[in-house]
Structure 1
Amino acid sequence: MKKYHNITNFEELIEQEHGKIGSRSRNAYEENVQMFIISEMLKEARKAAKLTQEQLAERSGTKKSYISKLENARGNIQLSTLIRIFEQGLNKRIGLTFL
């Protein structure tokens, strides 16, 4: 616990565990966080639309196993596929923000 003794906020904790912004470790962590967020958004949107993974896959022209991987943050997704899943499969628009 000594390595956490002087930590006063979440950003300091993330830096302690994953390094400074721009480091290889931190970039990998940030990528995993973003994939987790996308996976949760996809899962919630699918459930709100009252669709099974199989139904969503059929609507969006992909496979149920692929939807499952995405929802479990285990897949690597192309932007075009993500857009197709949300727009064709869920009738939702996607907006991107770059910071």
Structure 2
Amino acid sequence: MGQLINAKELIDNRYGKPGTESREKFREDAFSFYFGEIIKNRRKELKLSQNDLAELIGKKRPYISRIENGEDIRLSNFSLIANALNLSIQLTAI
């Protein structure tokens, strides 16, 4: 049986130590994916199509698709989408 490795070690090995450029890219990509999933799940809860959501915020459907697939999103557009989906954005100190 192989040796067990914890998630932190796996991520460190694959994406570099915290603070490295590759690790920051991984973190940014992970957040983009996470926010895309939140948007997609909420849109489906509200029984909206991608086209419906795009019309609500004045964008085109492919833009919504890219966001739901993990493309980075500008804060201003994230705010538009959150409002259209009746979501709140909360920022807290870490």
TM-score (norm 1): 0.85
1:37-84 CA-to-partner distances (Å, cap 9, x unmatched) read: 0111010010001000010111112111100110111x3311011011
- Alpha-carbon RMSD across the aligned residues, in angstroms, is 1.6
Task: Name the residue aligned to 2:65.
Answer: 68
- Number of aligned residues: 93
Task: Select 1:84's aligned residue among 76, 80, 84.
Answer: 80
TM-score (norm 2): 0.89
Q: Distance in 1 between matches of 2:25 and 2:33?
A: 12
1:56 aligns with 2:56: no
Q: List alignment gaps of at least 5 residues for structure 1.
A: none
> Map of 1:30-45 to 2, 5 A cutoff?
30-45=27-42
Q: Is the 8 A contact 2:51 2:60 kept in 1?
A: yes
Q: Distance in 2 between matches of 1:32 and 1:59?
A: 26
Q: Describe the SS at the equivalent of 2:91.
A: coil
Q: Distance in 2 between matches of 1:47 and 1:10?
A: 31
Q: Which has the higher contact order (CA 8 A, sep 6+)?
A: 2
Amino acid at match of 2:90: G
Identity among equivalent pairs (%): 40
Q: Distance in 2 between matches of 1:98 and 1:11?
A: 23
Aligned structure 1 segments of 4 or more residues deviating by more than 6 angstroms: none
Q: Distance in 1 between matches of 2:28 and 2:49?
A: 27
Deviation of 1:98 after TM superposition, in Å, equals 4.6
Task: Name the residue aligned to 1:46.
Answer: 43
